[in-house]
Structure 1
Amino acid sequence: MATRDTAVRDPPYYVGDFKKQLRHGFGVYVYPNGYFRYEGEWKMGKKHGRGKLVMKDGSYYEGEFVDGEIEGNGLRYWAKSGASYSGQFSNGELHGFGVLQCGDGGRYEGEFSFGLKEGHGLLVDKDGHRYEGSFHQNKKHGEGQMRYRNGDQFEGGWLQDHKQGHGVMHFKDGSVYEGQWRSNQFSGKGTLLHSSGVIYEGPWSNGKPRGGASKIVIDRGDILEAFLDSPFTVEVHLVTEEEEPTQGEHGRLLQVSAGVRLPEIHPSSLDKIIKDLPEKPISTKFGFDFISYPLMERVFESRDSGGSMAPLPAAKSGSAQAGSPLPGVERESGSGSDETVLGRGSLGYLDGKPGSNCLEGDSTTLTESFAAIPAAHEDDTVAPPACQRTVDGQAKFTDLLLAPPPPDYKLFELMDEMEKKNHKTSASKTSIDKQAVVKSGSRNDMGGKGTGNAKKCTLDCSTLRTGEYVIMVSEVTSPPFLGRTLPPAFALLRISPAKHQGKSEMNKCK
């Protein structure tokens, strides 16, 4: 039984119960350094039982003590950081199961080993990212699942806080990657199903596909040949940075478009042409610029429909659908009058800019312009070229046709005006000169450098002109695969007179 006289003999440091001149029972003790103060149970001179150890800076521990050490269950609070821990302790350290609430808003609930996160636990960091899985020495290590604040989710292996080994990542945009990881990056064999419809399956290195596409190549070289009355085909394939064929990649969305080369004339005159055009010229690898020209595709009707030609669907702005979401999915016809053919967009007749005939356009211009173009056969019609998705890094655009120049095609109008000013009609011109002009469509090439009759043709000037055009194949995958769009590929298209063109047709513009 404690005695009062013993308590009085040690008044500066301890007030409480004694037994055999030792602190025993309940008492308050202030350490000689003045920094610590203990209030609680004692046993033969040692803190034992429940008590509260308070530090001068406001930090404290409240809970169980065993033989003078913090042991068992308790609550620890750190005044400087505002963090708190409620759970199991051993020798004064966090050990066992507990909940650590950090001052910055982060929270950990799980297992500890001598002050470090160890074993299974749930961590929500200050940014709201949520990880549940294995820990080793305070780091994510082993198998675990991470849910990021932006909606991404990962489940798989971890090594020292880095994604490592096999894992599956679900991105917020719908993309999914399953495969090997190293230092938080795709590395090793894996498959990415991208939200744009692109699929890549194969080896990865530092987050990049080893066999992925880096460049578009138009087959048959830089020059394509076609006749006025014949459709033509554009085939492309994708290559890697090492110029090797792409492997394991499918689904990039490609668009084909056409253009007319700007004439090689005096810079002041060229500036006038460019100023009056509704769009900016596009540069090519050939060292010249071009302006887009309408391109169309012959669409053949199914023989099962009795051979009748279906009307061109009335396009509505915003109703365009890109190509099939995944390779191998066939295009289907729309079911209503406001539908477009799957894979075709509501293209404006003059829209040859990348993405226009796959994504959006002027539907009124499209309907009115193509209605005036006669079908090549009774069982087909024409429409803007459909975008194509690559399969094994390849794509083919078939049955392509250059459209007749529309009435408001500014480039031809301005080029004709320049031709009239620079090449006036001479009474001494021979009939041979006149025939040569008609045969070449009022010029020898699409650069506007031809000579001949400046009188405006009243019958054939609305037809396609022979000469040299530009074909461009560009990527319009949306969103871009891995944040990068492939640079466009170019080829020259030489249009020759129709195979069946007779003298009567040649003389229409005389």
Structure 2
Amino acid sequence: KPEGRGVYRRVDGAVYDGEWKAGEREGRGVERYANGNGYNGEWKAGKREGRGVYRWADGAVYDGEFKAGKIEGRGVIRYASGDVYEGEWKAGLFEGHGVYRHADGDVVSGFYKHDADVGEGGRVAMQYAAGDVYEGEYNWLGLYEGRGVMRYANGYVYEGEFKADKMEGRGVYRYADSDVYDGEWKAGKREGRGVYRYPDGDVYDGEWKAGKREGRGVYRWASG
């Protein structure tokens, strides 16, 4: 059985260069995959375990702990977009306490909890540095996706569906001045069908596009 140091080339194109024990990758080693990804770190019983760095072909880099071949423990991932997550992981997903720093300067901290009902994501309660609070579902990239509630520091509240961190799907947005929009969203803007209730009693029920009334609709004035 392989023991000591050696190079192994697999038929799928992967190449391992590192230490072996009793025929398994164990110790320190580097493995490069055919898809452009690569791992440099510790191994145990043929799997990534211990401390290591995993690089994706798209530019994302994870530096931290692994267990049984998956990201688990504490670690930092830097995405190609410039976003950074630092915190706890379990089975390759955010789980536990963590801080997510967005490339645009937003910093959020909170507690992630994986939930099989929402796929490779989970539920989270996040506090932004500016005072905004998000509670709801997220995907494996840490983006808000699914159902959630965002409470803004200025008093606005959105409750509904999200996709890739933006309001998308069905949701209710309550403004601090008592305006309420209940309807469809796309890429963070009112789009589709929806009802907007103004603080003076006026109501618009109809179509929207890019955040503005557009298409067919009915506008009822409080005056009658």
Q: TM-score range by the shorter chain?
A: 0.5 to 0.7
Indicate conservation of the 8 Å contact 1:133/1:140, yes or no: no
Q: Which amino acid aligns with 2:3?
A: H
After superposition, the C-alpha distances for 1:401-434 in whole angstroms (9 at most, x for unaligned) are: xxxxxxxxxxxxxxxxxxxxxxxxxxxxxxxxxx
- Alignment match of 1:125 (pick from 92, 102, 123): 102
1:36 maps to what in 2?
Answer: 14
After superposition, the C-alpha distances for 1:22-61 in whole angstroms (9 at most, x for unaligned) are: 1112222223x16122222111111111111123454321
What secondary structure is seen at the aligned counterpart in 2 of 1:177? coil
Q: Which whole-Å CA distance do the structure 2 matches of 1:139 and 1:67 have between them?
A: 28
Indicate conservation of the 8 Å contact 1:145/1:154, yes or no: yes
Structure 1 pair 139–127 and aligned structure 2 pair: CA distance change class (3 A): farther
Q: Which whole-Å CA distance do the structure 1 matches of 2:19 and 2:104 have between them?
A: 41
Q: Which amino acid aligns with 1:206?
A: D
Shift of 1:97: 1.6
Matched, 1:73 2:51: yes
Q: Which amino acid aligns with 2:23?
A: G
Q: Which whole-Å CA distance do the structure 2 matches of 1:209 and 1:57 have between them?
A: 49
- Alignment match of 1:89 (pick from 66, 69, 91): 66
What secondary structure is seen at the aligned counterpart in 1 of 2:202? coil
Indicate conservation of the 8 Å contact 2:151/2:158, yes or no: no
Shift of 1:91: 2.4
1:213 maps to what in 2?
Answer: 199
Matched, 1:23 2:10: no
Q: Which whole-Å CA distance do the structure 1 matches of 2:73 and 2:25 have between them?
A: 21
Q: Which whole-Å CA distance do the structure 1 matches of 2:148 and 2:32 have between them?
A: 41
* Alignment coverage as a number of residue pairs: 173
Q: Which amino acid aligns with 2:13?
A: Y
Task: Decide which structure has greater helix share.
Answer: 1
Q: TM-score, normalised by structure 2?
A: 0.62
Q: Which whole-Å CA distance do the structure 2 matches of 1:53 and 1:213 have between them?
A: 62
Shift of 1:181: 4.3
Shift of 1:156: 4.8
1:241 maps to what in 2?
Answer: 202
2:126 maps to what in 1?
Answer: 144
- Equivalent positions of 1:174-323 (< 5 A) are 176-177=154-155, 181-183=158-160, 185-186=172-173, 192=176, 200=178, 206=182, 213-214=199-200, 240-241=201-202
1:116 maps to what in 2?
Answer: 93
Q: Which whole-Å CA distance do the structure 2 matches of 1:34 and 1:182 have between them?
A: 46
Indicate conservation of the 8 Å contact 2:51/2:65, yes or no: yes
Q: TM-score, normalised by structure 1?
A: 0.30
Q: Which whole-Å CA distance do the structure 2 matches of 1:56 and 1:181 have between them?
A: 43
1:402 maps to what in 2?
Answer: none
What secondary structure is seen at the aligned counterpart in 2 of 1:65? strand
> Looking at both structures, which has the greater relative contact order when contacts are Cα pairs under 8 Å and sequence separation is at least 6?
1
Unpaired stretches in structure 2, ≥5 consecutive residues: 115-119, 139-143, 161-166, 184-194, 204-211, 213-220
Task: Decide which structure has greater strand share.
Answer: 2
- Alignment match of 1:158 (pick from 136, 149, 160): 136
Structure 1 pair 126–140 and aligned structure 2 pair: CA distance change class (3 A): farther
Q: Which amino acid aligns with 2:44?
A: V
After superposition, the C-alpha distances for 1:88-133 in whole angstroms (9 at most, x for unaligned) are: 1122221222111112222111222222222322223344433221
Q: Which whole-Å CA distance do the structure 2 matches of 1:55 and 1:88 have between them?
A: 20
1:104 maps to what in 2?
Answer: 81
What RMSD, in angstroms, separates the aligned Cα atoms of the two structures? 3.4
Q: Which whole-Å CA distance do the structure 2 matches of 1:66 and 1:29 have between them?
A: 16
After superposition, the C-alpha distances for 1:70-93 in whole angstroms (9 at most, x for unaligned) are: 1121111122x0111111112222
Q: Which amino acid aligns with 1:43?
A: K
Structure 1 pair 204–57 and aligned structure 2 pair: CA distance change class (3 A): closer
Percent identical: 28
Q: Which amino acid aligns with 2:19?
A: E
- Alignment match of 2:152 (pick from 169, 191, 195): 169
